[in-house]
């Protein structure tokens, strides 16, 4: 399954670890923001942010599943835009992870977990696939 993990930019390192666990279960992680590079000098800040936004939405659109992490402080609001964008896609599995579960639109999640350990166990039982080399 192609999975987009959405979360606060400051939580990159923690979310890379869970992305690795999902990858080990045979899933493809489409969210390249987890290993984002620095802004190229040739781009202005505005151009760079526009490139990131377009790329992230394209990666959400290419996924079969979005997992939105609600923990950590958002500096851009990007995870909420990505979640909203995913809600418009009826053929996408939508999952929320975290204790900071607020907002009426979070009630549209197919599944909700208070922590990643429970989500990983759920995936092991329900969405484990064999990695093909």
The dihedrals phi and psi of 81, each to the nearest 5 degrees, come to -65, -45
Single pTM value for the model: 0.89
Beta bridge partners of 67: 5, 95
Domain ranges, ordered by start, for the chain: 2-126
pLDDT score, position 107: 82
pLDDT score, position 16: 95
CATH class of the domain comprising 2-126: alpha beta
Residue pLDDT, tens place only, 52-65: 999 999 999 999 99
State whether the Cα torsion 96-124-26-36 is positive or negative.
positive
pLDDT score, position 129: 66
pLDDT score, position 54: 94
């Amino acid at each position: 399954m192609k999975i987009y993990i959405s979360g606060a930019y400051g939580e990159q390192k923690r979310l890379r670890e869970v992305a690795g666990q999902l990858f080990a279960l045979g899933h493809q992680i489409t969210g390249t923001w987890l290993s984002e590079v620095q802004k190229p000098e040739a781009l202005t800040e505005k151009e760079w942010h526009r490139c990131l936004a377009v790329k992230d939405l394209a990666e959400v659109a290419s996924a079969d599943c979005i997992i939105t992490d609600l923990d950590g402080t958002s500096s851009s609001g990007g995870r909420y835009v990505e979640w909203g964008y995913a809600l418009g896609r009826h053929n996408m599995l939508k999952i929320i992870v975290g204790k900071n579960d607020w907002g009426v639109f979070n009630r549209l999640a197919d599944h909700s977990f208070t922590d990643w350990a429970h989500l990983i166990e759920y995936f092991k039982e329900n969405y484990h696939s064999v990695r093909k080399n």
